Amino acid sequence: DQQVKQNSPSLSVQEGRISILNCDYTNSMFDYFLWYKKYPAEGPTFLISISSIKDKNEDGRFTVFLNKSAKHLSLHIVPSQPGDSAVYFCAVSGNTGKLIFGQGTTLQVKP
Amino acid sequence: ETGVTQSPTHLIKTRGQQVTLRCSSQSGHNTVSWYQQALGQGPQFIFQYYREEENGRGNFPPRFSGLQFPNYSSELNVNALELDDSALYLCASSLGGLAGEYEQYFGPGTRLTVT
């Protein structure tokens, strides 16, 4: 039973445009929501997070939106750059410190 | 400040054998978590250690075990290897034990192949 789902395995956008990555979760008890980026042959790198008491968090080109009623999380990257091409994982956490990951979305940003 | 390191990078084992994977936490971090990432999937939580004690476990059988040492480095041991254990094994270090809001910093992983 998948608690965190990323329904788009891949996404391709043009350099300079917006990338929107989506994530759905099933359990309303999760407290923290995170996005990780992963390049080949490297471990996941923390990108941005949001707690359940907020609905938006911004860090430079990256913004995470949380819609608790819809149990939906999204990551916006504006403007997208070729170096953003990677696999993006959303992850959720309760008060256990355990991260539950989605399956990942491969983002390709074309020059 | 050194990041999270893991050894070895790659490993090939035969079904039924035992394996030990190692992880060195980021400086100052007292918590380490281990994850298994199968091909095409997201990482799955195996267990977490906080100050040398197991502090949470995912849906993995007892043949997956671990240790955390006083310097907060860690080992993952897998006994009686099965073909399905072939995966990328990631460790992640963080502060704060069970607190979910602390960022977890991942190592590059160990690629285990079981034949």
Instruction: Give the helix/strand (H/E) hosting B49.
Output: strand B44-50
Q: What's residue B96's pLDDT?
A: 67
For B83-110, the pLDDT digits (tens) are 999 999 999 998 865 555 568 899 999 9
The answer on pLDDT for B112 being more than 90 is yes
The answer on pLDDT for B62 being more than 60 is yes
For B44-56, the pLDDT digits (tens) are 999 999 888 998 8
DSSP A96: S
Give the model's confidence band at B72: pLDDT under 50 very low, under 70 low, under 90 confident, else very high: confident
Sequence length of chain A is 111
Stronger pLDDT, A75 or B71, i.e. the higher one: A75
CB pairs under 8 A between A and B: 76
Instruction: Give the helix/strand (H/E) hosting A86.
Output: strand A86-93
| Of B42, B100, B107, Cβ closest to residue A96 | B100
The answer on pLDDT for B25 being more than 80 is yes
CB A108 within 8 A of CB A85: yes
For A8-58, the pLDDT digits (tens) are 999 999 999 999 999 999 988 888 999 999 998 889 999 999 999 999 999
Q: What's residue B95's pLDDT?
A: 81
Q: What's residue B51's pLDDT?
A: 86
Residues of chain B with C-beta less than 8 angstroms from the C-beta of A93: 100-101
3-state class (DSSP) for residue A56: strand
Q: Which of residues 10-69 of B touch A (CB under 8 A)?
A: 31, 33, 35, 40-45, 48, 50, 55-56, 58
Q: How many CB atoms lie within 10 A of CB B48?
A: 28
Alpha carbon of A71 to those of A18, A37, A93, A106, B61: distances in Å? 22, 21, 14, 22, 31
A29: left (phi over 0), alpha (psi -120 to 50) or beta: alpha
Task: Read off the amino acid at residue B28.
Answer: G
Alpha carbon of A42 to those of B4, B9, B64, B76: distances in Å? 11, 11, 23, 19
3-state class (DSSP) for residue B13: strand
Give the mean pLDDT of chain B: 91
Phi, psi of B84 (to 5 degrees): -70, -10
For A30-43, the pLDDT digits (tens) are 889 999 999 988 89
The answer on pLDDT for B26 being more than 80 is yes
Q: ∠ CA(B52), CA(A97), CA(A70), 5° rounding?
A: 170
Instruction: Give the helix/strand (H/E) hosting B20.
Output: strand B19-24
DSSP A9-30: SEEEEETTS-EEEEEEES-TT-
| Averaged pLDDT for residues B20-46 | 93
Give the model's confidence band at B76: pLDDT under 50 very low, under 70 low, under 90 confident, else very high: very high
CB B38 within 8 A of CB B26: no
| Distance from the B98 Cα atom to the nearest Cα atom in chain A, whole angstroms | 4
Q: What's residue B102's pLDDT?
A: 67
Report the percent of chain B where pLDDT is more than 70. 92
| Of B45, B97, B107, Cβ closest to residue A43 | B107
Phi, psi of A82 (to 5 degrees): -55, -35
Stronger pLDDT, B71 or A88, i.e. the higher one: A88
The answer on pLDDT for B74 being more than 90 is yes
Residue A22's beta-bridge partner residues?
A74
Instruction: Give the helix/strand (H/E) hosting B23.
Output: strand B19-24
Q: How many CB atoms lie within 10 A of CB B97?
A: 17
